[in-house]
Chain A
């Protein structure tokens, strides 16, 4: 059998207002894992959508084994054995149907022909075979709505490989996964690789790429930058290619004099997971909340902000006891939350940039209840410039911004709300390196103005890079308090994993 080899040449595509790809190249072959990396908006997802037939108005050529092929619909791509698993797994799954039905849905839709009856025993048997091949243990009769995120992803991979699959594209597959689930995914990827399947791996997490991939292609601003063997490059070089400039320091930590205790939480408990949380944040301090996925970091952030009900505990701001039962109270007292699920909770995607930025402080822009649009536009313009939000103007709808710029909007709205305590929940999730630096610098600016910052993240590197103190969470409690300068990644992971 000839090795599967694909070559994309001079791919360009335009959308209203943007030229998303400019003569991009990409080439890979079966039996290799190929990383595709670039800052948000670099065009990686668009390029992969072209390859998987999601668009038909691109220009350029695609060769498979040196023969030009036509890919203008997902059907074309699937016929050629090109399968894609998108980042938003829920979009592609039908929650009310069983695992087996979801795995075989394409066949049930396309290959039924004149058949009217569904052969249940065949479907279940076939689904079991595929899952066995992946060495994954999910009951095939289970409803997809009852699965975890990682399991849903496995179902999608199973769906892809039960059809003709020479090339599997994984679009940021590890973003929602815990460390253990990621390991499981990598095992499956390696198994596919040994079956001569080519895997394209889109990710923002460099360490993962260096762990699993053989080749790497880097893109910037819709253009191909370079292609390398993983063994011949390193993280620093990749970041430089992505940004197009060298990186002085990966974590720009601002040195700030730390003041007295400003924000204090005593014995906070909720009905589900949080147990007896005690923590304090000093003026000008960045306090990290570390822990694995499921340790209760998000729940803690939401509880501090009044977005989840608590059953006990006390919160003090400047030695004064405050009661927060609703986010409205939190905002009133000067507590801000930048939530984890940006598109779902952080920004209003269908609203323009300006109304997103002013949402939490709209009272400052109104007189007798009437909104002063001119003031809104002016403040938004200043903020867009200050934060380096990449947008044509303040009237652009947020859904058209890249992930990193959406995050800047989500942070920006709290800057004009002028809060005292800023809670960040995984602020760099799905954000590219450049925007990450901007966000770190922003946090540095906040503390230098004497604000308090709570920084929850499962990226231990970030916690070590920018915080002053760390609380490590395990199973809904604070397992350990550590001073960042005197700790290490190993120590944080040890306590995250339940070490005593």
Chain B
């Protein structure tokens, strides 16, 4: 026993990097940008900027995290965000509905997409990546078709030549403003963290992701938890779409598509935060923070936008490299 304890105390540099490599990268990025901008980067106002900018990505990435927890993958989150964006704005502008209807309708549509995904994966048994790849195309198309390939906004010209009369509820618009959007993000991260870590259902989801057969033979309803995870993933992506709509006050065709890759990256970076080694809400938050801080700092340094992806990708390699490069012994 004493031998075991002693070995645990010896934490090598590699163990440290494995556990804290990603956090270290974030610290380095913050320090670097702070120095390069004479402290402007670290000012309160800019921190708020970063938090605001990352909030939509984070919420969608939390959705991706759910699919990863049950051992799956959800590529359709961007399309779901586009869909709820269009549905919520159209509810106001085209159909003159109130706030509750607009939001609930959008979330319902998202849940339906999640349900369809779960049927494709669980019942028809299409591998998760391919099933959600297909539904990514389908629902992106549905969103564009629904909005007739156009931007939906207040006072838009309708097909019959008249101007639309529906107005977007100011409360809806406030969801996209600071501080509400940040508060919503933090609440979602906290709630999902508590759900995954402290509830029976969260435990079951990790178990299903870890070994579905062992879970099944222990009496866990594997398919039920997979289904719930995909529906929650879609609903969270839907919330992301709603926040995006609230933020910009209109609906762009395929407006959510751009969030897919950043969200996936955030969720995967999240694995390695503090050596947890599995998908988790807090990690995803830090993953999104890494991405957002990078974009923000690069803009401040006036790096041309077309070159940003090179640096973003390279920093991603650095963060993941610190985590996964292990000493051979």
Interaction A to B: yes
Contact surface of A with B, Cβ cutoff 8 Å: 16-19, 57, 305, 307, 326-328, 330-332, 337, 339, 344-351, 355, 359-360, 362-363, 365-366, 369-371, 392, 413, 417
Q: How far, in Å, is B10 (CB) from chain A's closest CB?
A: 8
Asked if B310 lies at the interface with its beta carbon under 8 angstroms from chain A, I say no
Asked whether A327 and B217 contact (CB < 8 A) given A350-B210, A362-B204, the answer is: yes
- Main SS class of interface, A: mixed
Q: Which residues of B contact A365 (CB under 8 A)?
A: 200
6 contacting pairs across A/B (C-beta < 8 A): A16-B8, A18-B4, A327-B216, A327-B217, A348-B210, A351-B207
How many interface residues does B have (CB within 8 Å)?
26
State in angstroms the CA–CA spacing of A349 and B221 once bound together. 19
Write the chain B residue with the least CB distance to A392. Answer: B4
Which of A18, A307, A347 contacts B3, CB < 8 Å? A18
Q: A17-B4, A18-B7 are in contact. List 16 more A-B contacts (CB 8 A).
A: A16-B8, A326-B221, A327-B216, A327-B219, A331-B218, A344-B214, A345-B217, A350-B211, A362-B200, A362-B204, A369-B199, A369-B200, A371-B198, A371-B199, A371-B200, A371-B203
- The answer to whether B211 and A344 have CB atoms under 8 Å apart is yes
Write the chain B residue with the least CB distance to A359. Answer: B218
Q: How far, in Å, is A281 (CB) from chain B's closest CB?
A: 20
Asked if B309 lies at the interface with its beta carbon under 8 angstroms from chain A, I say no
Q: Which residues of A contact B203 (CB under 8 A)?
A: 355, 359, 362, 371
Q: Please list the 4 inter-chain residue pairs (A to B) with the smallest Cβ-Cβ separation, ordered nearest first.
A: A331-B219, A17-B7, A366-B200, A17-B4
8 Å CB interface, B188-236 against A: 198-201, 203-204, 206-207, 210-211, 213-221
Q: How far, in Å, is B285 (CB) from chain A's closest CB?
A: 21
Q: Which residues of B contact A350 (CB under 8 A)?
A: 210-211
- The answer to whether B217 and A339 have CB atoms under 8 Å apart is yes
Q: Which residues of A contact B210 (CB under 8 A)?
A: 348, 350-351
Asked if B329 lies at the interface with its beta carbon under 8 angstroms from chain A, I say yes
- The answer to whether A360 and B1 have CB atoms under 8 Å apart is no
- The answer to whether A345 and B213 have CB atoms under 8 Å apart is yes
Q: How far, in Å, is A13 (CB) from chain B's closest CB?
A: 11
Write the chain B residue with the least CB distance to A368. Answer: B199
Which of B206, B211, B217 contacts A307, CB < 8 Å? B217
Q: Which residues of A contact B220 (CB under 8 A)?
A: 328, 359
Q: How far, in Å, is A54 (CB) from chain B's closest CB?
A: 12
- The answer to whether A328 and B221 have CB atoms under 8 Å apart is yes
Q: Which residues of A contact B1 (CB under 8 A)?
A: 392
- The answer to whether A349 and B211 have CB atoms under 8 Å apart is yes
Asked whether A337 and B201 contact (CB < 8 A) given A17-B3, A17-B4, A17-B7, the answer is: no
Which of A328, A332, A337, A366 contacts B199, CB < 8 Å? A366
Q: How far, in Å, is B5 (CB) from chain A's closest CB?
A: 8
State in angstroms the CA–CA spacing of A370 and B214 once bound together. 22
State in angstroms the CA–CA spacing of A346 and B211 once bound together. 10
Write the chain A residue with the least CB distance to B200. Answer: A366
State in angstroms the CA–CA spacing of A6 and B219 once bound together. 50
State in angstroms the CA–CA spacing of A276 and B300 once bound together. 76
Q: How far, in Å, is A414 (CB) from chain B's closest CB?
A: 9
Asked whether A327 and B7 contact (CB < 8 A) given A344-B211, A348-B210, the answer is: no
Q: Which residues of A contact B8 (CB under 8 A)?
A: 16-17
Write the chain B residue with the least CB distance to A391. Answer: B4
- The answer to whether A337 and B200 have CB atoms under 8 Å apart is no
State in angstroms the CA–CA spacing of A366 and B204 once bound together. 12
Q: Which residues of B contact A413 (CB under 8 A)?
A: 218
Q: Which residues of B contact A344 (CB under 8 A)?
A: 211, 213-214
- The answer to whether A330 and B213 have CB atoms under 8 Å apart is no
